[in-house]
Structure 1
């Protein structure tokens, strides 16, 4: 279990190095998220969880996924939340509009997104939002995002969050 967690962290750092070094991602480490973490740390955790799910799907079921794209999208999926208290009138508005804003930020940061990346980032809030993902990667990030959000509140995970904060 610890080996795959370490492998996930190292892989996310390698694949996501350019994104994690960006001004937008650095700003995301200043924005509180889920009351106990930041947007950047949450996104890093989601990327690691996505990698682990992809690894499991391949090892157990031989299902291939585009895990590299998924890591990139996971690191970018919540950047639209930055400045949420000024941009959105309510939590409900934030839930529905930040995926669209995150797609726009990712598009400008990467110099363009393909349809799969737009699907992954733009639909990660399903079923809170009505449009479901069309790709397996879109479903994986949806599950990883909800899992990370729920476990952010478990005190035993706070120690791991400190380790991940040191990584960033």
Structure 2
């Protein structure tokens, strides 16, 4: 069952899934299931979380929810270890924050056709840490949702550990 963090819904049984069904099971995205992200989740699960919640928010505000779902799923489509990248990069090279979004955009373009909106969402999801600022409302949504999901992914497992410790 495909779920987003803090949600009990099976994402394969709703309108969200129809937006991403052609790409979600591809080999390139499945590689992300083996990469740890934000301490306690995988990069794949993080992308699903960002994708689903961006879709929900954009749909609520009558924005392009389909593009939000797709860009959310593809926004961290890179395979290198960020710690290794940061420790070995030269001063002239882009920071991980900038580099990974460009790498994800390039990988997404190789995987599927992406719209200008989706490209903007993928490349600028790290704003305000990177420049330039988003060009679309949907890009602001994915930027905020990405940070929200990172906090959830870090905090929820740690809060659960604390609760279980106190119950014992």
TM-score (norm 1): 0.77
Q: 1:68 pairs with 57, 66, 69, which one?
A: 66
- For residues 20-56 of structure 1, give each alpha carbon's deviation from its aligned partner in whole angstroms, at most 9, with x where no partner exists: 1111110011111001001110010111111221233
Note if 1:26 corresponds to 2:23.
no
Larger radius of gyration: 2
List alignment gaps of at least 5 residues for structure 2.
1-6, 161-168
- Look up the match of 1:60: none
List alignment gaps of at least 5 residues for structure 1.
58-63, 160-168
Contact 2:117 2:136 in 1 (8 A): yes
Over aligned residues, Cα RMSD in angstroms? 2.6
Q: 2:100 pairs with 98, 101, 104, which one?
A: 98
Note if 1:78 corresponds to 2:99.
no
Greater fraction of residues in helix: 1
Give the Cα separation in 2 of the matches to 1:38 and 1:136.
Answer: 27
TM-score (norm 2): 0.77
1:1-168 alignment, distance < 5 Å: 6=9, 10-57=14-61, 64-80=62-78, 82-85=79-82, 88-90=85-87, 93-110=95-112, 112-155=113-156
Aligned residue pairs: how many?
148
How many Å apart are 1:146 and its aligned residue? Answer: 0.6
How many Å apart are 1:116 and its aligned residue? Answer: 1.4
How many Å apart are 1:8 and its aligned residue? Answer: 6.0
Contact 1:54 1:65 in 2 (8 A): yes
Contact 1:36 1:152 in 2 (8 A): yes
Contact 1:66 1:137 in 2 (8 A): yes
Q: Secondary structure at the match of 2:15?
A: helix
Contact 1:8 1:51 in 2 (8 A): no
Give the Cα separation in 1 of the matches to 2:63 and 2:10.
Answer: 17
How many Å apart are 1:13 and its aligned residue? Answer: 2.8
Q: Secondary structure at the match of 2:101?
A: helix
